A and B are shown apart, each in its own frame.
Chain A
């Protein structure tokens, strides 16, 4: 498997990425410099033209004055036919002068224009506060947020982006939010990556820390989600946002139909998933398994315009984490077996390969004429998680394979520029115990006074089954998200 991925990278690189040699780049730079010299010359020439045009205007102004004086001096008594000629002439000259004036002022303005932010990156700041009430405490919800009333400053997110050089752009997203446990604010570099802008063969390479392209909503920042919370399945299977340190290569197929393929390799994927509570046997599996170590991931997506207003975007994703990890201690064996590891003295539980696969689709109705005032989006994603475990050591040696499914599906209807509402359904089997599952139902309503300022009210009923050891929970959320400064309307958030 590794060999194949490595092969793709090597192959694609050798054939395309380095096709543009340093020499070519130098040549390009030389060309640019020559062009700049040219434009300086052109600007000088323009200056001359402006002066000339100013002179012409002055002359024409005098001419108009003379002509107007003449027409006023000699009113045409009863001879309209002869009188019309000078009048039309005056009108024509006036129009010419008007147009010339415009040209002069626009040329002058073009020369005057300076861009103060020319060498500064685009900077934006996102603030996001969640006010909430939960009927159950975190020991019964599995959430990292406490029960009762709660105010959570989920994001203070700084976005920075700029071109690195003619061949790449760089960006960073730094989020300072309160730690759910300690309450202390800590800045986390969520993304800091370089992305090529001029690779041949329709390729784009990204490297650094970034949200890896897996699934539909994994790489969307919290405040851009269509509802308040990240779907349970993404929280449990990936650990929230699909943050990874690595590289990913995206390829737009050179055909007339849109097909985008992405393959990436990274160290770690997602954050540490939320704590899982005790199971029905009073035993804890510890935390959900984080995706640590080397990870290969990929995604393919396409799109079909069913009508001018209706489009369908399906996608498939895959992830493999070959990492192995010893997990000693008094923990339950995977898949909810009543046995515990201490029943096999001297044995150790080892996690083997973990894999994730996903299919997703988005059906969107956006009427061409009025899409800013009405639209309907239906998004669905189904994930399958496969977890391998080995019990090794002095006792019996055996393996476990836990196969779990999780999904979410939401429908959002927008009926004015400011208002939209929707419903989110979620269902997820625990990745370590597929008898333990949870359903959740969330109606939500969003009021956006502008693209920069948005309030959302959401109710969520979470219904875990008995196997999970959790209790049903009712929660109400009020989310207020705002943006100042620069903010790109990204391709992935469309």
Chain B
């Protein structure tokens, strides 16, 4: 009786080893790409076209640093040919453990299947020390470069390089796809820059430090964050100081990323007269933002609407 359990386990193990006959072939019909976040999944689909099957661990509504580690991710990662990640340790809360559990040597760090989309990006706000005084979620600098569409192009390029290296026989097709997407993105960037002209010099705060690259690209002034440090919730004193400095400096927008609670951002907006707007940080974060381009559209329009609302309010006074 007592040894039955182990006996059954043993028999199951032996049977399964016999049946599986070693590792399953990695190259089925399509190249299997797994991405941590949905923006990278969108880019991978654009570059890989019909040749790839893309799975994203995040669905879009999660925090970029807080995708829950689900065991169901493990078989997906186990079979992946490529793992595409944001880099700068953005995913450190969930990816290292999943990578280990995945038992997939092809996508481990240092292997060609480990695709760090940040290669070639110069990080902003690199901490002077690795001490946790600065919080622990941005140890190698700010990882939210993809929100800047010009830097997003670098990520697209890195995904192309990885696909071309993995399947050189399809390089021409990947190149065609990449060039087509980059052209589309370039056209949108020109459009966004034109649309965002009224946002130049507009000051805003957000919950988490998601926006330094975006703000620089569109000439906005990133005034501060509601979080005390990345990943650390605000203290009452921090909120007080933020409110008084926002009032003094006429900060006009409070940007809330949808995965953070609304209470504190809306209080701050109310007390400072700023407009509260909820905007996504990756595709799928709010409805009708399934692709990167749609998301970026939504962000620009959301900010414009918020700025307009504030101007109207001022005009009323």
- CB interface residues, B 107-123, toward A, < 8 Å: 108, 110, 119-122
Chain B residues near A417 (CB, 8 Å)? 233
Interface string of A467-494 (1 = CB under 8 A from B): 0000000000000000010001111001
Contact check, A368 vs B68: say whether CB atoms are below 8 A apart. Answer: yes
Contact check, B22 vs A261: say whether CB atoms are below 8 A apart. Answer: no
- CB interface residues, A 264-313, toward B, < 8 Å: 296, 298, 300, 302-303, 305, 308, 311, 313
- CB interface residues, B 4-22, toward A, < 8 Å: 5-7, 9-10, 12-14, 16-17, 20, 22
Contact of A357 among B5, B97, B110 (CB under 8 A): B5
Q: Pick out which of these stretches binds chain B: A4-12, A47-55, A70-78, A125-133.
A: A4-12
Is A15's beta carbon under 8 Å from chain B? Answer: yes
Contact check, A197 vs B122: say whether CB atoms are below 8 A apart. Answer: no
Q: Pick out which of these stretches binds chain B: A231-239, A247-255, A434-442.
A: A247-255
Q: Pick out which of these stretches binds chain A: B41-49, B55-63, B246-254, B295-303.
A: B55-63
Contact of A109 among B3, B122, B258 (CB under 8 A): B122
Contact of B100 among A107, A166, A491 (CB under 8 A): A491
What's the minimum C-beta distance from B271 to chain A, rounded to whole angstroms?
Answer: 21
Contact check, A5 vs B6: say whether CB atoms are below 8 A apart. Answer: yes
Main secondary structure of the interface of A (DSSP, over half): mixed
Contact check, A318 vs B5: say whether CB atoms are below 8 A apart. Answer: yes
Is A99's beta carbon under 8 Å from chain B? Answer: yes
Is A184's beta carbon under 8 Å from chain B? Answer: no
Give A251 to B13 CA distance when docked, in angstroms: 8
Give A416 to B24 CA distance when docked, in angstroms: 43
Give A253 to B233 CA distance when docked, in angstroms: 40
- CB interface residues, B 232-286, toward A, < 8 Å: 232-233, 258-261
What's the minimum C-beta distance from A310 to chain B, rounded to whole angstroms?
Answer: 11
A1-B3, A450-B135, A489-B93 as given contacts; A198 in contact with B75, CB under 8 Å:
no
Chain B interface: which size bin?
A: 35 or more
Give A449 to B96 CA distance when docked, in angstroms: 23
Q: How many A-B residue pairs have CB under 8 A?
A: 167
A side interface size, CB within 8 A = 74
A200-B22, A258-B72 as given contacts; A308 in contact with B59, CB under 8 Å:
yes
Contact check, B23 vs A202: say whether CB atoms are below 8 A apart. Answer: yes
Is B180's beta carbon under 8 Å from chain A? Answer: no
Q: Pick out which of these stretches binds chain B: A61-69, A331-339, A370-378.
A: A370-378
Contact of A489 among B96, B103, B120, B121 (CB under 8 A): B96
Give A494 to B14 CA distance when docked, in angstroms: 29
Contact check, A254 vs B78: say whether CB atoms are below 8 A apart. Answer: yes
Is A203's beta carbon under 8 Å from chain B? Answer: yes
Contact check, B3 vs A320: say whether CB atoms are below 8 A apart. Answer: yes
Is A328's beta carbon under 8 Å from chain B? Answer: no
Interface centre among A19, A353, A417 (most CB of B within 10 A): A417
Give A7 to B9 CA distance when docked, in angstroms: 13
Chain A residues near B61 (CB, 8 Å)? 368-369
Contact check, B12 vs A258: say whether CB atoms are below 8 A apart. Answer: no
Chain A residues near B105 (CB, 8 Å)? 197-198, 200
20 A-B pairs (CB sep. < 8 Å): A4-B10, A11-B17, A12-B17, A15-B17, A16-B22, A19-B22, A106-B120, A197-B100, A202-B23, A251-B16, A256-B75, A261-B12, A298-B6, A302-B71, A305-B70, A311-B72, A368-B68, A369-B259, A371-B62, A452-B132
